[in-house]
Amino acid sequence: MIIMKKRIGVMTLAVGILLAASLAGSPAPAYADIVWDHWQKAESLSASGNNAEAVSHWQFLANHYGSTGDWENAALFCGKLDSYYDAIGDYDEAIHYYELENEYWVKAGKDWGAVKLQRADQIRTTVELYRQDRDQTAIQKLAMPKNGQLAKFEPAFGTYLGMYSEQDPKVGNMFAKTESVYGKKHAIYLAYAHWGQSFPAAYAKRAKDAGGALQIAWEPDDGLNPVTDGAYLRKWAQDAKAAGIPIFLRFAGEMNGAWVKWHGNPAQYIAKFRMLHDVFASDAPNVAMVWSPGDVPANDIDPYYPGDAYVDWVGVSLYIEPYENGDPSLPSMIATSSVERLTRLYNTYSDRKPLMLSETGVPHYSHSTEEDFTEWAKLNLQRLYEIMPYKYPRLKAITYFNVNQNMDNAKNNYSLSSSSDIQNYYTKLIANPYLLSKVADSAKPADGIGYVPVDAAHQSFTKQTKFIPFVKIPEVYIGKVEYILNGRVIASQTELPYGLQLRAGDVPEGSVLQIRVTNKSGKQVALRTFGISSQVSVEIDGKEQIFEQAPVIVNGSTLTPLRAIFEEMGATVAYEAVTKTVTAVKGNTTVRLTLDQKTVYVNGQAVQLEEPARLVNGYTLAPARFVGETFGGKVSWEGTSRTVTITRK
């Protein structure tokens, strides 16, 4: 049985704190007259409703107290400024002061600024761009830990697809039904267990029958004291091993939250977690230990970390909802997305451990207000299953909490199958092979395609690619996303999910792609420019070649890597640096060419090239047709995908 915990959100918590802080006394008469004058004028103007004229006084006071190290007063005046700028829609200035206020609260030794950072994220305009990539070396580099060693069951790249389905009327705990309902097998199924109860063997068998792994949320309902090494634990471990499937063991999750009985003693928690790790390492090596806090309260997370040697995966329970705890009387949370809420945990632990969303969900209906949030859910489901795995390549698993939650608190419908619209949309999103259906060490997507950010290091693509924008605006709902290539609008989207396919032939080197965003009122709210290019690709007998130096086009001629292609064709290649001469031999054919000269010799006969061979970044490149045909290949050019095709005769 799942017991949902009422969580005190950071906004609710901060309201009382900031009200108390705002009652701090005025500066003593010993303060310089100018400071007192600014304070009094600001109070008078604000009291009369003239906040615009109070701004200059608040700015003076925030700067003054910040320069003197009076962090609390500096934070309080920043609070007045960020609230003012937020109210008038000057979001850039509001974000500046929200972040500055948090900085001052941190310097004051308080965590009261967390709510302000949350609000800054809500109103921040974001336009990022990601794209498909076939270069597995580049993809895996982004997805690897700093030490280069994958964790237990960690995929090389890609993200495991997981689900808690027991309360889904179309699936229940018959996990094998998942494929027929949602169009795809899932890699991980979630079950709950309680300390003192036997290993959930029935769930493990059903996961095995479905071809999946099992995530077990193991909860010590009576606290940590009963958690000891003994006959019960050893039998539990033996049964886990006998299950014969990968098991992700999430012991005592959300330990940073006061709503669980195992909260409050980090040292004891760490000792128990380490003990369990050692038992399972010796008795059940098919178990990966998952340390999984909640994403809030953020400042209570790190003290509970058991250490790298005892943690296989770092998980997190991370939910978003339109109203905090389902209560519409609290500040709206509709502008919050899961993307930003993972950032802190990801930045802290991803260099060392793979991350998983142990529990997550996006509601499409609020029972407390009887409001439909289908459009909001679609927006955030795309962020969950497309943007987050691409933005955070060390995010290696997502387990969706598939529940219609109609309880006293947190009244949200996260159920995927209770809405045919949401069910179909989810099915469309998860069809992406990047979302993996099978747990295995070093797993990869079946199509070998990964995703990279479009930045200075990842501008160029071959053949064709799909671009996926991450767009977030303060108004939340997006009216239109336009794609402008080299000054011309080539596509416009008003329906989710957002994304654009482009062919290499449409994107010459040095192209510019702009993403223009309008809100529901038709007002442009964002415009961002990205440099993109396509590269020539080479196929030999249908196999795409991967080169350290990509082909280039010079004066209309395509130059391709000579050594790599000659060797793939079966020739031996030698280079004489003094004379800058390349000699290649295959059977009865000998080729000699000199860099920067158009004349080459094939078995002593002179042949003229349209462009001379040359060094590019230390690699010898020569015209593609000459390189492909010299040793008996047939060369053709496909302009749409900018592909040189070489077929050996």
Cβ neighbours of 389 (radius 10 Å):
24
Q: What angle do CA 394, 398, 402 make, to 5 degrees?
A: 170
The neighbouring-strand residues paired with 489 are 484
Going by the DSSP 8-state scheme, the letter that residue 26 receives in this structure is P
List strands edge to edge, sheet with 464-472.
450-453, 126-133, 464-472, 500-503
Q: Among this protein's residues, is 359 annotated catalytic?
A: yes
- Contact call for residues 514 and 530 (beta carbons, < 8 A): yes
CA–CA separation, 41 and 82 (whole Å): 19
Closest residue by Cα to residue 620 from 634, 635, 600: 600
- Contact call for residues 376 and 389 (beta carbons, < 8 A): no
Closest residue by Cα to residue 407 from 338, 327, 486, 467: 327
147 CB burial (10 A radius; 0-12, 13-18, 19+): exposed
Q: Among this protein's residues, is 509 annotated catalytic?
A: no
Q: What are the distances in angstroms from CA 504 to CA 320, 451, 540, 560, 565? A: 38, 17, 19, 17, 21
Q: What are the distances in angstroms from CA 532 to CA 458, 472, 485, 535, 614? A: 8, 22, 9, 10, 25
User: 497 preceded by cis ω (within 30°)?
Assistant: yes
Closest residue by Cα to residue 192 from 181, 180, 203: 203
- Contact call for residues 323 and 366 (beta carbons, < 8 A): yes
Set 103, 166, 254, 386: catalytic member: 254
Q: What torsion do the CA atoms of 290, 235, 243, 402 make, to the nearest 10 degrees?
A: -50
Residues 6+ apart with CB under 8 A from 482: 489, 491, 492, 493, 515, 516, 517, 518
Going by the DSSP 8-state scheme, the letter that residue 371 receives in this structure is E
What are residue 89's phi and psi, to 5 degrees?
85, 15
HSE, side-chain direction, 13 A CA sphere, residue 164: 23
**Which residue type occupies 229?**
D
Set 154, 359, 386, 568: catalytic member: 359
How many residues are listed for the chain in this entry?
649
List the structure tokens of 552: 């280039």
- Contact call for residues 593 and 600 (beta carbons, < 8 A): yes
- Contact call for residues 643 and 539 (beta carbons, < 8 A): yes
Residues that are catalytic: 254, 359
